[in-house]
Structure 1
Amino acid sequence: MNVRRLIPTAALAGAAALAVPALTACSGTSSAGAADGRLAVTASFYPMQFLAEQIGGDRVQVTSLTKPGVEPHDLEITPKQTAQLGESDVVLYLKGLQPAVDEAVAQAGVKNTVDAATLTKLDAHGAGGHDHEGAHGEEAGHSEEAGHSEGDGHGHGEAGGDPHVWLDPAKYAEIAKGVGAALEKADPGHAADYRKNTGELVGKLTALDTEFKDGLKNTATRTFITTHAAFGYLAERYGLDQEGISGVDPESEPSPARMKELQERARKENVTTVFFETLASDKTAKSLAADTGLKTDVLDPLEGITGKSQGADYFEVMRSNLKNLQKALGAK
């Protein structure tokens, strides 16, 4: 597996994209412009697909560029998929997460294209803790010592953006609103349906945000260790500190210094668990856990749903993540 880069998300793509009727989704079937009158929507990967399906309902035909089980960062686009993109009514993607998709979208020249990275504010997060400048209001009181990061193995580029925004339900809701507006503009005849579906989805995401806030309010520790440093937004939102074993590549070998640092932090912060994920090897997690006497468990970055996922959709997997976090952090 290639290095899983927190490739800089181009938040600079401009809020102008909000006004563009673009959206992509996926269902795994091929979309060559829906012949039955539905909008043909192409999504780059699962979090974008889920929004398109939830908001579009039976008014859209959704296709995903990333098949279930494929690690999104590693995706390579075929000429057939590039051609399919060009036939889409709407394309929804997250610029900076998947370089191959960014290139294909540029080549396809689809008019109705929305970059989800322009629909919410992006922050920079490293392997050790998170950036505090973009903290969200009452959740901003996090330990400053968590700001260190050794060997992230990635750059944040000009925008300094961590693309994993969908793991924060509040930010995901902001993106949902932008997607809803895009579909309304692309298919004004069914705007009322898209508006209604968007409202229902945002309501569910708001309720999920409340579940996380309440469920993680009182815990024995605020620090969690994970192989994939994808949970910066989630940590920031709920006052937690994320510690990535080796930056954003869950299969790379962390340096001895980083391992020692994490062992010391685990003891100091009463960390009980090292998290790994379903789409990547658990080798580094098990190695650190064995050296420190810690347990291992799953924290899913929700980049795709497979038979190994702890849930059938975004909400089920996020609630599994919450349950696993509560157990690991000693929620009271």
Structure 2
Amino acid sequence: MSGFSRSCAAGLLAGATLLTTAACGSGAAETPPGQGDKPEVVAAFYPLQWLAEQVGGSDVQVTGLTAPGVEPHDLELGIQQVTGIRDAALTVYIKGIQPAVDDAVEAETSFDAATAVTTIPAGEHAGEEGEEHGHAETPYDTHLWLDPNRLATVATKLGERLAAADPAHAQGFKDRAAAAVSALGTLDQEFAKGLSTCKTKTLVTAHEAFGYLADRYQLKQVGITLDPDTEPSPTRISEVAKVAKAEGVTTIFTETLVSPKVAEVLASQVGARTAVLDPLESKPSGDYLSAMRDNLKTLQTALGCTA
């Protein structure tokens, strides 16, 4: 049975269950109950929630599973929350980021965004400091939403998935997916133009979250650590410092939700400054598009890009 053919009561039960059991899981978002008879789409964390809202529009009720300000990798779920996910019409997630979600989803009512795009391998030194959460089972980089072009592909596939499951609203899903693709295409063009004339192409980051962005715009990511919760070894810091000095890096990027300590230590060693580059794992002050444009401005300043 497809997710959208479940009864209205099941959809409402899923929304109510997620509301009443949010406290059972660490970092789980409190969510409103389902509205009317709209199918519920559960989004594992912010970028997927944003995309589900763009594509689903008024034809679905979107639930964000991870609360704002919470590191998605750290999400834990209670038993009743797992039941809520399984009762939802569709869960949009990326395998390898949140093991608890990976264990809770069911194939017929879930959409793994990583299956819609060509993935790239995990960070350059995967295994040196320990695997990132979930990477033992997924050797690819999971941060695909940081490439607007790949996220546009996910939007198209999500629109197709929703249209097939709910034919009565198929055209609306397809139209909204096309609009999301257009908006992401514009963003992609802005990044391509804005990063085409930079003095340096080397992106030194505290955490290797920006592989897809680097891959799309011909940058070189050098991460201090693969796992944001793991302290890098002195050897790794020394290796990155040598690269930063050799390639004239002026900025070491730290990020939201992660302590800037390691990046600050490295910056002091190479005579660089630090700046925040948002991996968008949690909801920003604006939305996905505005936060990505803020990232572009930050990159242009740090890499010495001319307009």
State the TM-score bracket (shorter-chain normalisation).
0.7 to 0.9
Give me the whole-angstrom Cα distance separating, in 1, the residues matched to 2:157 and 2:98.
20
Confirm or deny: 8 A CA contact 1:29 1:62 kept in the other structure.
Answer: no
SS in 2 for 1:227: strand
Q: Which residue of structure 1 aligns with residue 64 of structure 2?
A: 64
Q: 1:324 deviation in Å? A: 0.5
Confirm or deny: 8 A CA contact 2:129 2:232 kept in the other structure.
Answer: no
Q: Which residue of structure 2 aligns with residue 140 of structure 1?
A: none
Q: 1:110 deviation in Å? A: 7.0
Higher share of residues assigned helix: 2
Structure 2 letter corresponding to 1:74: D
Q: Does 1:313 align with 2:287?
A: yes
How much identity, in percent, do the aligned residues show? 44
1:287 to 253, 262, 265: 265
Render the CA deviation track for 1:40-83: whole Å, top value 9, x for unaligned.
11111111111110111111111122111110011111122112
Render the CA deviation track for 1:166-218: whole Å, top value 9, x for unaligned.
00111111111111111111221111111111111000111111111100001
Q: Which residue of structure 1 aligns with residue 98 of structure 2?
A: 98
Give me the whole-angstrom Cα distance separating, in 2, the residues matched to 1:221 and 1:125.
23
| Change beyond 3 A, Cα 1:125–1:86 | closer
SS in 2 for 1:245: strand
SS in 1 for 2:253: strand
Q: What 5-or-longer segments of structure 2 have no aligned partner?
A: 6-17, 20-28
Q: Which residue of structure 1 aligns with residue 128 of structure 2?
A: 151
SS in 2 for 1:111: helix
Tell me which moved more, 259-268 or 203-212.
259-268
Q: Which residue of structure 1 aligns with residue 193 of structure 2?
A: 214
Q: 1:253 deviation in Å? A: 2.5
1:198 to 177, 180, 185: 177
Structure 1 letter corresponding to 2:120: D
Please give the residue correspondences for 1:31-180 in structure 2 after superposition, counting only pairs within 5 Å: 34=34, 36-105=36-105, 109=106, 111-127=108-124, 151-154=128-131, 156-157=135-136, 160-180=139-159
SS in 1 for 2:40: strand
Give me the whole-angstrom Cα distance separating, in 1, the residues matched to 2:239 and 2:91.
43
SS in 1 for 2:191: helix
Give me the whole-angstrom Cα distance separating, in 1, the residues matched to 2:288 and 2:139.
26
Give me the whole-angstrom Cα distance separating, in 2, the residues matched to 1:212 and 1:169.
9
Tell me which moved more, 314-323 or 88-97.
88-97
Confirm or deny: 8 A CA contact 1:170 1:205 kept in the other structure.
Answer: yes
Q: 1:289 deviation in Å? A: 1.1
Q: Which residue of structure 2 aligns with residue 328 of structure 1?
A: 302
Structure 2 letter corresponding to 1:268: A
Q: What 5-or-longer segments of structure 1 have no aligned partner?
A: 1-18, 129-148
Give me the whole-angstrom Cα distance separating, in 1, the residues matched to 2:122 and 2:3.
29
Give me the whole-angstrom Cα distance separating, in 1, the residues matched to 2:149 and 2:3.
22
Q: Which residue of structure 2 aligns with residue 298 of structure 1?
A: 276
Confirm or deny: 8 A CA contact 1:72 1:98 kept in the other structure.
Answer: yes
1:228 to 201, 207, 211: 207
Q: Which residue of structure 1 aligns with residue 163 of structure 2?
A: 184
Render the CA deviation track for 1:3-44: whole Å, top value 9, x for unaligned.
xxxxxxxxxxxxxxxx9979xxx9955366x35121211111
Q: Which residue of structure 1 aligns with residue 8 of structure 2?
A: none
Give me the whole-angstrom Cα distance separating, in 1, the residues matched to 2:50 and 2:82.
21
User: Number of residue pairs matched?
Assistant: 283
Which one scores higher on RCO, CA 8 angstroms, separation ≥ 6?
Answer: 1
Give me the whole-angstrom Cα distance separating, in 2, the residues matched to 1:150 and 1:37.
47
SS in 1 for 2:108: coil
SS in 2 for 1:259: helix
Q: 1:247 deviation in Å? A: 2.2
Give me the whole-angstrom Cα distance separating, in 2, the residues matched to 1:35 and 1:125.
39
| Change beyond 3 A, Cα 1:255–1:29 | closer
Normalised by the length of structure 2, the TM-score is 0.85
SS in 2 for 1:275: strand
Q: 1:292 deviation in Å? A: 1.8
Please give the residue correspondences for 1:240-255 in structure 2 after superposition, counting only pairs within 5 Å: 240-249=219-228, 251-255=229-233
Confirm or deny: 8 A CA contact 1:127 1:245 kept in the other structure.
Answer: no
